[in-house]
Every structure is written in C-alpha cells, then in structure tokens.
Amino acid sequence: MSEMVIHGSRPRNVGWLRAAALLYGDWGTSKAYVIGLAVLLAGYAAPAYLAAIAGLTFLVGCNYVWVCRYFPEGGGVYHAARTHSARLAVVGALLLLADYAVTASMSCYEAFNYFGTGDATRWAILAIFALGVLNYFGPRLSSGLAVYLAVPMVLVVLGLVAGGLWNQPVLHWHWPTEGLGHSWQLFAGMVLALSGVEAVANTTGVMKPDPESSPEKPSVRRNARRAIWLVMAEVCLLTAALGILAAGMPEESFSKPESFLRKMAEYYVHPSYGLAVGVVVGLLLLSAVNTAIVATVAILYSMAQDGELPPVFRMLNRQGVPWVPLIVSVGLPILILDLAPGFEALASLYAIGVVGAITLNLASTSTDKTLPMAMWQRGVMIGTAVLMGAIWVTIAVTKVHALMFALTVCGVGLFVRETYRAKLKEETAKGPVPVAVTTGPATPVFGEEEGEEGGRILVAARGLTPSAKFALEEAKLRSSRLYFLYIREVQVATEVSGRLQDDPVAEKVLTEAARIAKDSKVAMTPVYCTANKASDMIVELAATLGADVVVLGGTRRGLLINLLRGDTVREVSAHLPEEIKLVVVG
C-alpha cells in the first residue's frame, strides 16, 4: 500500500496579546504568593528584597526575549539544551517537571486560601483530581480561563495599589539589617516570581509569524518581545508597588502569609473588595494549575516522542490524551501536597526546579555557537546563567529537602530513560528493529493523479463507517479519486509526529479500505497523519489536495464530550473554504 504520511503541525494562530494573556496566567500569578513569602522571611525589610526580585525578573525576561528570537519553533529548556546533549535536555525537562508539579500544588493550595474555604490542602487535592478528569478529554480548555482573567487580575491589583496610596499608610520598611550572606540566602529563597517565564519560550511554536517571516525561516521576534515586555513590566512594577504597601501592614499579619493580597485588600480598601480580589486571584491560580498539568503532559510526551522515554508514555486514551503522563501530572502534585502541606513547605520546594531549568536554558543558548547572537548578548546571557546558577546552588545548600526533591525527580526520570535506552540498544544489537518514533516524511507535493475525471473526494474516518462507505460509493459514481484520511488525534500542547507502522489500528483500517477500493475499482490514496486537532488538519488537507468534496461522519458523542473537546463537524464547517462542499453522513 502506497500511503501518504503527514506529521501534524500546530497552527500559528496565537497573537501577541493572547500570548501575553497566556503568559500572565502563569507568570503574573507569582504576585499571589511572592509578597506573602517576602514578608514572612524579611518582615518590614521585604520591599528591598522585592525590588531586587523585580530587577532579576527584568534581567531574565530580557534574556528570554532573545531565547524566543532564536528558537521560533519552541525555546524551552528541553529544546535549547538538546542542541548540546540529549541527556542534558532530559535533565532540564525533569527540572521543569519538578517546577510544574510544585506550581500545581502551591497554586491550588493558595487558590483555596484566597477563596477562604478553609482546609486548603484537602480542597487543593480534590481540585487537582477534578482538573485531571477534565484533562482526560484533552487540553482544549487549558488556556481559556487565563485569557479571560488576565485583565480582571490587573484591574483588581491596580485597585488595591490605588486604595493603598489613597489611605496614605505609615510605612515601616527598612533596609536589611542581616549580613550579606544571610541577605543573599533570603533573596534566593524568594525567587518565585520567575516561575512561568519558561511558558512563553514554549509557546513560540504557535505564535503568529512576523511580517518578514517565511515557512523556511519562521520568526516570532516581534510578537514574543511584545508579549514578554508587557507582562514583565506589569510583574516588576506591581510587585514592587505591592512590596512597598506591604510595609504598611500590621506586623502580626506577617506570620500568616497565605492569601496575602486578599488581606491587603481587606486592610487598605474594604472586606468586600478583599472578597473580589480573592475570587479573581483564586480563579487565575486554578488556571495556573491547569496550565501546569497540560505542560507536564506535553513535556513527558515530547520526551517519549523523541525516544527518551518508553513508548508507554505515548499511549493514548480514546480521547487522544497520553494517559500515563496525565497520571504523573496529577499524581505528583497530590503527593507533594500530602507530604509537604502548608505555605512555607511548598514555597521551599518551589524555586529549585525553575531556577535550574532557567540556568540550563540560558547556559545552553548562550554557548550554542550556531546561533547568530551578538557578542554582548552572549556575555549578558552567560552572566545571567552564572547568577541563576549561584541562586540554584544557594537553594540546594540551604534547603536540603528541596535538593532531595529535585534529585529524586531527576534521578527517577534518568533511571527510566537510561534503562529504556539500554534495552533499546540491546534489542538493536540483536537485529534491526524499528526505532521508537520517527517523524513522517515531509508533506508531499500533490500533483495530477489518475482517476480524477470526477474530481477529488476527501473522507476522514476512523474505520469503514457509513461515511467512509458513502464516500467510496460516491467516488465510484463520479469517477473521482478518493483520499481516505485517517487522523490520529493527539491531544497534547506540543508538536506531534508519527508513522503508520507504529499505529496498527490505522494500518488495518487503511489496508482494508484500499482492498475494498481496489475491488470496487475506485482510485484511492490512503492518507495517514497525526495532529493536535483533527478539524484543523482536515481543513488544511482539503485545501492542499484541492478536494471538491469533504465527507465526514456525524458525531455520536454526548453533549458534555463535545463541550470539552469541540465538535469536529462544526469546526470544519466554519473554516472550510466556500468552494469545497461538505457532506455529513449521519
């Protein structure tokens, strides 16, 4: 059977404003707990430390503008470090995995503190489990909440700052009185505002290209720069302003730093405004939890797709979601909440993962001689990597339990990786076997083919369904060429690829369809592809092939499933070019 194999690509449809909103949903939420942690550790000296945190955030943000420029297909630590070593890339990905796990647990814990439900640990565990159930149907709703809540979050924080200034509080802040060594330790312990900066680097692959961009040389420099600068300015300025206002809070409030922004709103404005702040911030924190779950699934699937983890991490449920990565993304935060309950315990685990990932990313990017970076940019990036490395070492030395957590995550991940790679190497030595994953060949150029007197019909089906049988009959009646499309939909927030040999179900369906077409004397071309979203691939292929008719089967899924995953028929109908007819077989 001569089939066309096409690997899916995520559409570049995220503009800079939407990218900024997505970034803010992760990066901007840091204010919800970094202010409280600062007053817990430093008391009335917190404004000085928070100003230093804002400066570090600005420096790292500038570096990531360059990272996004040089990695338009995705510039997270896994991709940047992979240019040097696959093993180093896995280490970076595992550090990021540790960060995502603590992000999910702490964000969820603080969300219910902001809601004021009481027993935040129990509610957080239940919420993470519920989000895992929702993600069982795919990450379709993963970013929507963050986009809609970004503006309300900025507005309520601006209202809090305005209310504080209006009341003209008496500020008790002072410069740090501790020695330089102890002050450095406190500073390193507050580096939570950087969590989320890796998110924008991972989204460059779906950003809308710049005007000067081309398919051969994609560029998202302008959009990435605008998104990062907008969010970075808000995070730095408002974090510093809130830090100053924190010095006017009663000292007894410092011992309980949970939901500190809500306490500030109640103190400076009104208890009802504190409730509004609690609801908005809590919802945005829940969005950050969902984002962390989606990102964990994506990074584990990416490693399995590249052959760094066993194929079990690529196994999909009926909805196209990798179920093993989903279990890890939900189980690890729940385990952390159970073993390290409380604000201070979670905060102590927080920074070591993201600081390590940022250090590896910047070090890998700055030493990659193939990138056309100016010498001064390399110098700044190397200096930033050294600074972040010093912070990481400080955290590792002063918080041994955080170091043990990071080493455990990296150790288990590397053990699985090395065991699998050794087994694969042993099997390869015994005889030729197919590798774990290979990407499909480049998208073929479709020219004139035989049997097209009646045009071209494209049918998308997962078997010999009524729609597939109808398309076969229609192609025979019209003397048309039939393109039988089998889409393996993979619901992950990353690039997906695959080949027909690794999908026995699809191979069986296409082989049987080819046999029936041959018996019916229908000119048929089997087409196999993997894609994040079936409707996008159907529309793209229909236009690429020059199809006259697209045949789809009516959905049998329930209303809830369609709500969670989207209705493929409706989405295809909305985006299909007008000159292509759509036939839905119920």
Read off φ and ψ for residue 4, nearest 5 degrees. -95, 125
Residue whose tokens read 């035989």: 450
Read off φ and ψ for residue 494, nearest 5 degrees. -160, 170
Q: What angle, rounded to 10 degrees, do the helices at 31-42 and 221-246 form? A: 40
Collapse the DSSP code of 331 into the 3-class scheme (helix H, G, I; strand E, B; otherwise coil) and give the result.
Answer: helix
Task: Give the up-direction half-sphere exposure of residue 95: CA atoms within 13 A in the CB hemisphere.
Answer: 25
Q: pLDDT of 486-510, one tens digit each? A: 988 888 877 777 778 878 888 899 9
pLDDT for 430 equals 72
Mean pLDDT within 278-298: 91
The predicted model scores a pTM of 0.86
What is the 3-state composition of the chain as percent helix, strand, coil, each rounded to the nearest 5?
65, 5, 30
- Rounded Cα distance between 505 and 509, Å, is 6
Most confidently predicted of 8-17, 336-345, 354-363: 354-363
Q: Which domains are seen in the chain, by residue range? A: 4-420 (1.20.1740.10), 456-585 (3.40.50.620)
Here the contacts of 382-389 (C-beta below 8 Å, separation 24 or greater) are 384/59, 384/60, 384/63, 385/359, 387/56, 387/59, 388/60, 388/355, 388/358, 388/359, 388/362, 389/359, 389/363
Sign of CA dihedral 92, 97, 100, 102: negative
Conformation bin of residue 307: beta by default, left when phi > 0, alpha when psi is -120 to 50: left
Q: With 90 as the cut, is the pLDDT of residue 410 above it?
A: yes
Q: pLDDT of 162-211, one tens digit each? A: 999 888 888 888 888 888 899 999 999 888 777 777 777 777 766 777 77
pLDDT for 443 equals 39
Q: In sequence order, what are the beta bridge partners of 549?
A: 457, 581
Q: pLDDT of 516-549, one tens digit each? A: 998 888 998 899 888 878 888 888 888 888 888 9
Give the residue from 354, 335, 342 showing the smallest Cα distance to 109.
Answer: 342
- Rounded Cα distance between 108 and 117, Å, is 12
406 within 8 A of 352, measured Cβ to Cβ: yes
User: Percentage of the chain with pLDDT > 90?
Assistant: 43
Read off φ and ψ for residue 308, nearest 5 degrees. -90, -15
- Rounded Cα distance between 252 and 340, Å, is 24
pLDDT for 436 equals 38
User: Percentage of the chain with pLDDT > 70?
Assistant: 89
pLDDT for 291 equals 86
Question: Alpha carbon of 366 to those of 82, 84, 86, 205, 382: distances in Å?
Answer: 13, 11, 17, 20, 6
Burial of 249 per CB tally in 10 Å (0-12, 13-18, 19+): buried
Q: pLDDT of 429-442, one tens digit each? A: 776 544 433 333 33
Per the model's pLDDT, the better-predicted residue between 408 and 318 turns out to be 408
Q: With 90 as the cut, is the pLDDT of residue 322 above it?
A: yes
492 within 8 A of 205, measured Cβ to Cβ: no
Q: How many residues does the chain have?
A: 586
Residue whose tokens read 């089906």: 461
What is the distance of C-alpha 250 from the center of its chain? 39
Which residues, in sequence order, are CB contacts of 15 under 8 Å at separation 6+?
207, 208, 223
pLDDT for 79 equals 86
Provide the residue type at 243 as one letter: G
- Rounded Cα distance between 3 and 214, Å, is 29
Beta-carbon neighbour count of residue 139 at 10 Å?
Answer: 22
330 within 8 A of 300, measured Cβ to Cβ: no
Q: With 90 as the cut, is the pLDDT of residue 70 above it?
A: no
Confidence of residue 450 (pLDDT cuts 50, 70, 90): low
Collapse the DSSP code of 507 into the 3-class scheme (helix H, G, I; strand E, B; otherwise coil) and give the result.
Answer: helix
Confidence of residue 415 (pLDDT cuts 50, 70, 90): very high
Per the model's pLDDT, the better-predicted residue between 208 and 250 turns out to be 250
Q: With 60 as the cut, is the pLDDT of residue 560 above it?
A: no
Q: With 90 as the cut, is the pLDDT of residue 447 above it?
A: no
Mean pLDDT within 226-255: 91
Provide the residue type at 26 as one letter: D
- Rounded Cα distance between 131 and 119, Å, is 19
Q: With 90 as the cut, is the pLDDT of residue 256 above it?
A: no
pLDDT for 566 equals 55
Q: With 80 as the cut, is the pLDDT of residue 417 above it?
A: yes
Confidence of residue 563 (pLDDT cuts 50, 70, 90): very low
Q: With 60 as the cut, is the pLDDT of residue 231 above it?
A: yes
Q: With 70 as the cut, is the pLDDT of residue 582 above it?
A: yes
Both tokens of residue 166? 């209006």
Tell me the pairing of strands 456-460 and 481-489.
parallel
Q: DSSP characters for 424-474?
A: HHHHHHHS----S--PPPPPPPP---SS-TT-EEEEE-SSS-HHHHHHHHH
Give the residue from 127, 470, 449 showing the smallest Cα distance to 290.
Answer: 127
300 within 8 A of 288, measured Cβ to Cβ: no
Q: What integer best gives the mean pLDDT of the chain?
A: 85
Confidence of residue 285 (pLDDT cuts 50, 70, 90): very high
Which residues, in sequence order, are CB contacts of 379 under 8 Å at separation 6+?
none
Q: DSSP characters for 204-229?
A: GGGBPPPTT--SSS---HHHHHHHHH
Beta-carbon neighbour count of residue 31 at 10 Å?
Answer: 23
Per the model's pLDDT, the better-predicted residue between 211 and 81 turns out to be 81
560 within 8 A of 545, measured Cβ to Cβ: no
Q: With 50 as the cut, is the pLDDT of residue 250 above it?
A: yes
The three state secondary structure string of 492-506 is: CCCCCCCCHHHCHHH
Beta-carbon neighbour count of residue 233 at 10 Å?
Answer: 12
